[in-house]
Amino acid sequence: MGRTREFDTEAAVSRAMELFWSHGYEGTSLRDLTGHLGIGQGSLYAAFGDKEGLYRAALAHYRTTLAAAAVRDLEQGEDTRSAIRGLLMERVRIAVEQNGRGCLIVNAACERLPDAPPVRRIVRDAQDATQDALTEVLRAGAERGEISARHDPHALAAFLVTLLNGLLVSSKITPDARALEPVVSIALSTLD
């Protein structure tokens, strides 16, 4: 009979997420992970397969917690323009924390693609969820007359996701949300 796992895998994934987010995949060693999580290498392998498996679990955790919260906040926003500004600026605010660690999903896209197809799927799913939510918010906002209906909501959502990705990369270079706010204002002018 095998030994019972002696650690909380959900807590381990959350702590690993923070480590990968701060140091990247390549910058995080197995020794860093086992030390930070307080588990042995055998336990890590038994629970996650390998470092890549733990990384994928950390990305999935990020998507279902922080990224999902951003989408929920967007969908519950009062008016379209404020909801979109709130989404963009909140994501930038989180990205500039801890001296500009960025967004874990965008960091994964920059660091791990195209070498890791399973990571690509997680990144794509996160991007698609944001784009789908933006599309619905934009469609509803146009129907209510809060924003112009001159752009296709799906194309406008794709533009805003692309802009957000750029903002999140820029936040690593210039970890100052105030410096990036004028870019958000210009992007919001596409809603006029």
Q: Does the structure show a pLDDT above 70 at 5?
A: no
Please give the pLDDT value at position 3. Answer: 52
pLDDT in tens, 30-81: 999 999 999 989 999 999 999 999 999 999 999 988 877 877 877 786 799 9
Rg (CA), the chain: 19
Q: How far apart are CA 105 and CA 60, in angstroms?
A: 9
The pTM (predicted TM-score) of the whole model is 0.87
Going by pLDDT thresholds of 50, 70 and 90, the confidence category of residue 1 is very low
Query: What is the average pLDDT value for the chain, to the nearest integer?
Result: 91
Residue from 167, 153, 21 nearest 88 by CA? 167
Q: Which domains does the chain possess?
A: 59-191 (1.10.357.10)
Helix axes 80-100, 177-188, angle to 10 degrees: 150
Whether the CA torsion 96, 93, 114, 14 is positive or negative: it is positive
In which band, very low, low, confident or very high, does the pLDDT at 4 lie, cut at 50, 70 and 90? very low
Tens digit of each residue's pLDDT (9 = 90 or more) over 140-151: 999 999 999 999
